[in-house]
Homo-oligomer: A and B are copies of this chain.
Amino acid sequence: MDSFDIKITRKPAVEAPVLLEGLPGIGHVGRIAAKHLCVELRAKKFATLHSNHFPPQVMIKRSGLIQTMRNDFYYWKAKEEGQRDIIFVIGNAQASTPEGQYLLSRQILDVVADSGVETIYTLGGLGVGHLVERPKVFGAVTHRRFIPELEKLNVIVKRGGLGQIIGVSGLLLVVGKIRGIDGLCLMGETSGFYLDPNSAKAILNVLTKLLHLDVDMDKLTKRAKDAERKVAEAQKMEKKMMEEMGMVQREPTPDEMRYIG
């Protein structure tokens, strides 16, 4: 009875791709950004990962159908000069224990082991505990060579030690480094109080320039307000439920988020 269950449905047709991670986290900033990009680029799904390390629950979709906790892998072929192939890993869950997070990070890199990933980009939020009107973007890197380009795009890299990157966004960079793949993490400033498409947009502004992509941001902006209201309600209810069950809340994102994809 293995802890991970991987279904690979096709071989991703990519060369030296960037691996782009956007799993749930603070403000769901990374998840919103990565999913928006994945949808707008019409990337193709090629693998799905389930795990006993995920939170022990299912999501209910708008349609009443249940959705398993999962990480999905998509790929996208570069269309123009200067662009790079991309593999996305997105989904509705990170692992629910410390050790599970390490195992999941290794598993994700195992899934793409044959794809020749050259760089890892992980996306997340940086919670500051107060409302943020114009979110800054922060960066952390595994190699100095990424810094000049990030700073040219106004990403704040040297900031006197702002602490930690918790979860897969940090561990993917560690495991990647060990396997000889460098990478960076982009973090959008966010209150941390609710899911934050505005911060996701700030990240995407940087990311699309780094990857020479041209992506429509309209949908992201349009539905942001509506989503926030619904989410706040649903989260209150879920928090209550989980407390009743004696469980720690780990994955506050309700199905409303699906509007993005």
Binding site for B on A (CB under 8 A): 1, 3, 5, 25-27, 50, 52-66, 68, 95-103, 106, 126-129, 139-144, 147, 157-167, 170-171, 173-174, 177-178, 185, 192, 230, 234, 236-238, 240-242, 244-251, 254-256, 258
How many copies, total?
4
A163 touches B103 (CB 8 A): no
Q: Which of B62, B147, B245 contacts A64 (CB 8 A)?
A: B147
Measured CA separation A199–B159 after assembly (Å) = 28
A166 contact set on B, CB distance < 8 A: 55-57, 241-242, 245, 247
A164 contact set on B, CB distance < 8 A: 57-60, 238, 241, 251, 254
Measured CA separation A162–B248 after assembly (Å) = 18
Interface centre among A96, A127, A242, A256 (most CB of B within 10 A): A127
B56 touches A102 (CB 8 A): yes
A–B Cβ pairs within 8 angstroms, 5 of them: A56-B167, A62-B158, A63-B157, A161-B254, A164-B241
Shortest beta-carbon distance, A148 to chain B, in Å? 11
A242 contact set on B, CB distance < 8 A: 166
B57 touches A167 (CB 8 A): yes
Closest to A127 in B: B241
